[in-house]
Amino acid sequence: MVGGFRWAAMFPDEVWEHVFSFLPADADRNAAALVCRAWYRIERRSRWRVFVGNCYAVEPAAAVRRFPEVRAAAIKGKPHFADFNLVPSDWGGGAEAWVEAMAEGWPHLEELRLKRMVVSDDCLELIARCFKNFKVLSLVSCEGFSTAGLAAIAANCRNLRELDLHENEVEDNCLHWMSHFPESFASLVTLNIACLEGEVNVSVLERLIGRCPNLKTLRLNHSVPLERLVGLLHRVPQLVDLGTGKFAAQHHPELFSKLESAIAGCKNLKSLSGFWEAGPTYLPAIYSVCEGLTSLNLSYATLQGPELIKLISRCKNLQRLWVMDLIEDDGLIAVAASCKLLQELRVFPSDPYGAAQPISLTEHGLVAISAGCPMLHSVLYFCRQMTNAALLTVAKNCPNFTCFRLCIMEPHTPDYITRQPLDAGFSAIVESCKHLRRLSLSGLLTDLVFKSIGASANCLEMLSVAFAGDGDAGLHYILSGCKNLRKLEIRDCPFGDKPLLDNAAKLETMRSLWMSSCSVTLGACRQLARKMPLLNVEVINERKRGLPLELQPDNCPVEKLYIYRTVAGPRSDTPSCVWILR
């Protein structure tokens, strides 16, 4: 670039580094790196935080080479639908390749956050050994490790600040893993062990947190009995975020008042979660801190509507509420009246298969919240009935939605009053909510809703579709519109080859596409793979019958398809049920 060298040299590198440090998003840094060679060089040497949205999009060694000064890395593995058992368990997402490369090239790594990856105990041991200044380990929805691996982390990471284990499957083979924290260890700020199934040695835990003056977040698992919670809280009155253990016990007035005062003693408490097996008996013990709460997760508590209302109406400053549908419409109406600062609401089903008594949680609850909570921008709502009218009202009340996920639990459910598809309702959402970044659809939907989404959802980054649409046009509307689409996941929709092939180029602008139980054929996948060398086209066929995939004809239907852009080429760790087409 003529003149590029001259003006970049106007300032020393350190000045440009300082300037780049103000760039908030990786995308901005990426853009700066493309301006000229000097900026590329300066930017890559000064980037210390890296986010890899798809662990197979780049070779670990290449990432480590490009950014030699990284201190914090976040990596995601399996596709989102793995959460719902749609991805074979041996699909991949193993963390070894990354951890080995990072151990080699980033010895100063301080933070590692992994999501939906298979993390072995060997990985944890490598992390514990190789990163001398390791501070933050966050594992979300991971599997493959055990408490023995955690023991290695505890024993070796002298400067550990955060151990955040969120919804992982952890094998419990080392009961005393927490005893491996040395007596001199006192740096914990966050300890989240809520997902551990096994017993926790509460005395060891008490001593551990007692010597960590900076502990702000403590999330216990369900094995910690309520009686012991009192002792724990006395040691950490500075707590900001508490996840209780089991929140039930025989009624004892003495225990109640001890618990009440222990919780009241935590004057900085802003977030509460846990509440396993919570009943009405001990719930009032937390009333004193309700006013200060900004986040409340009751989604594992089978409390009934009236108890929930009594509790939540005291939480005037609540910003985030996660709750079971046992709250019912009446409860949500009370929330709408009390929690004017509410930003995020998630309502989970207490009975996903509908075997029990029907719950009175309907579209009315959602409408009430949308009307009463002006700051609401993120919703996850499981229910059994919906109307277009309700969705139109919600759209009108909440033009600021960034995330709208509605799950009507029975597939193909129409508007229960008009019997029409819910096209009009969801269209209103995307047309009104101009900042919508994430959307999940449900109910009876035709291609019309996709036309609206394609045309209006300009900020949409992630779209989840299930049991919807009439045919190819639906998928075509999405792929030819939605200019900021990054992740698209589809299941059980009648979408076929044509929209994929017609919009092949679009797939390179996205992180990934998942399609399962649709109408895609092997022939189209082959064509796509040939046409787009920067995509990995993974065909997943779990039912091993007949010929191997290479010999199957073009019209062979594809069960599951996962397409993602990558500069790493086909991966080498595919299991037998996955074929990467070239």
Partner 1 sequence: MEDLDNLKATELTLGLPGTDAPEKPSPASTTGANKRANEECCLPVAKKQVVGWPPLRSYRMNSIRIRKMEAEDNTGIYVKVGMDGAPYLRKVDLGVYTGYKELTEALNDMFKCFSLGGAEGHEESGYAITYEDKDGDWMLVGDVPWEMFISSCKRMRIMKGSEARGLSSST
* Cα 316 from chain centre: 27
User: What is the C-alpha separation between 111 and 137, in angstroms, rounded?
Assistant: 6
Question: Cβ of residue 262: shortest distance to partner 1, in angstroms?
Answer: 26
- Min. distance of Cβ 420 from partner 1 in angstroms? 8
Give the nearest distance from C-beta 224 to partner 1 in angstroms: 16
Quote the least distance from Cβ 473 to partner 1, whole Å.
Answer: 5
Helix, coil or strand: residue 581:
strand
The amino acid sitting at 511 is R
Q: Which of 300, 450, 562, 579 binds partner 1 (CB under 8 A)?
A: 300
> Rounded distance, CA 11 to CA 6, Å?
10
Burial track 533-557 (b if 16+ CB lie within 10 A, e otherwise)? eebbbbbbbeeeeeeebeebeeebe
Alpha helices in 217-285 (DSSP H): 226-235, 253-264
Question: Which CB, 393 or 413, lies closer to partner 1?
Answer: 413
Residues 6+ apart with CB under 8 A from 382: 325, 347, 348, 349, 352, 407, 409
- Does 473 contact partner 1 by CB under 8 A? yes
Stretch that binds partner 1, among 18-26, 28-36, 129-137, 462-470 (CB under 8 A): 462-470
Residue 63 or 403: the one with the smaller Cβ distance to partner 1 is 403
- One residue of 4, 354, 358, 546 binding partner 1 per CB under 8 A: 354
Tokens of 83: 């959460």
User: Quick one: which of 467, 477, 562, 579 contacts partner 1 (CB under 8 A)?
Assistant: 467
**One residue of 5, 18, 84, 107 binding partner 1 per CB under 8 A:** 84
Residue with tokens 């994430």: 438
Shortest spacing between CB 441 and partner 1, in angstroms: 11
Q: Does position 244 bind partner 1 by CB under 8 A?
A: no
**What is the DSSP annotation of 444-487?**
S--HHHHHHHHHH-TT--EEEEES--SSHHHHHHHHHS-TT--E
Pick out residues in 309-328 that bind partner 1 (CB under 8 A): none
The Cα 421–Cα 425 span in angstroms is 9
Residues 513-542 within binding reach of partner 1 (CB under 8 A):
519
Asked if 468 is part of the footprint of partner 1 (rule: CB under 8 A), the reply reads: yes
| Interacting residue with partner 1 among 3, 10, 27, 85 (CB under 8 A) | 85
Nearer to partner 1, 104 or 410 (CB): 410
Question: What's the rounded Cα separation, in Å, for the pair 573 and 407?
Answer: 34
Nearer to partner 1, 156 or 442 (CB): 442
Candidate list 243, 349, 372, 425; residue touching partner 1; CB under 8 A:
349
Residue with tokens 């260890």: 185
Q: Are 474 and 495 within 8 A, CB to CB?
A: yes
Question: Of the listed pieces 60-68, 103-111, 177-185, 350-358, which binds partner 1 according to CB under 8 A?
Answer: 350-358
What is the total count of residues that contact partner 1 (CB under 8 A)? 50
Between 126 and 200, name the residue whose CB sits nearer to partner 1.
200
| Closer residue to partner 1 (CB): 264 or 380 | 380
Instruction: For residue 386, give both structure tokens.
Output: 């919906």
**x-marked contacts with partner 1 along 34-73 as a string, rule CB under 8 A:** ----------------------------------------
Contact positions with partner 1 (CB under 8 A) in 146-175: 167, 169
Amino acid, single-letter form, for residue 408: I
Interface with partner 1, residue 86, by CB under 8 A: yes
Supply the angle between the helices 37-46 and 13-20 in degrees, to the nearest 10.
Answer: 70
Cα separation values, 53 from 113, 397, 512, 572, 579, Å? 11, 33, 10, 19, 22
In the bound state with partner 1, the residue whose beta carbon lies nearer, of 125 and 423, is 423
Cβ atoms 397, 421 nearer than 8 A? no
Which position has the token pair 């509307």? 477
Does position 494 bind partner 1 by CB under 8 A? yes
Does position 347 bind partner 1 by CB under 8 A? no
**Tokens coding 322:** 């996660």
- Looking at 109, 466, 475, 540, which residue binds partner 1 (CB under 8 A)? 466
Cα separation, 109 vs 131, in Å, equals: 6
Query: What backbone torsions phi and psi does residue 207 show, to the nearest 5 degrees?
Result: -65, -40
Name which of residues 404 to 433 contact partner 1 (CB under 8 A).
Answer: 407, 409-414, 419, 421
- Asked if 81 interacts with partner 1 (CB under 8 A), we say yes
Comparison of 466 and 504: residue with beta carbon closer to partner 1: 466
Verify binding: residue 382, partner 1, rule CB under 8 A.
yes
| C-alpha R_g of the chain | 26
Interacting residues with partner 1 (CB under 8 A): 81, 83-86, 141, 167, 169, 195, 277, 299-300, 302, 348-354, 382, 407, 409-414, 419, 421, 440, 444, 446-447, 464, 466-473, 491-494, 496, 498, 519
